[in-house]
Amino acid sequence: MEMNDRAEQAVAYKHGDCNCAQAVLLAFADELGRPEEELRALGSGFGMGMGCTEATCGALCGASMVMGLCNKSGKPTAAIMR
């Protein structure tokens, strides 16, 4: 799936019943291979930024979680999705 399609899908989730982090996670559900219920739970605490503080963007948190879940090595890295 192209990145523009994922972005549109995330926007659709956000306009539905998801916070920003959940929307990004669900837009990558096909790559993550995890149930929607689990991805919704994972992103649930990141609405309005980390812990509702409005300090860290929920979409950025969701994207970071996607990158972490895609990192099969388990080692820290800043560039796993090239």
Among residues 20, 21, 19, 25, which one has the least CA distance to residue 6?
25
3-state SS class at 66: helix
Residue-wise pLDDT for 16-32, tens only, equals 999 999 999 999 999 99
Q: How far apart are CA 51 and CA 34, in angstroms?
A: 23
The answer as to whether 29 is a domain residue is yes
The answer as to whether 80 is a domain residue is no
DSSP, res 18: -
Q: Give percent of the chain with pLDDT exceeding 70.
A: 89
- 54 is in which domain, residue-wise? 3-70
Whether pTM exceeds 0.85: no
Contact 27, 10 (CB under 8 A): yes
**Domain count of the fold of the chain:** 1
The answer as to whether 79 is a domain residue is no
Q: How is residue 81 written in tokens?
A: 């999705």
Residue-wise pLDDT for 33-45, tens only, equals 999 999 999 999 8
Q: How far apart are CA 45 and CA 6, in angstroms?
A: 22
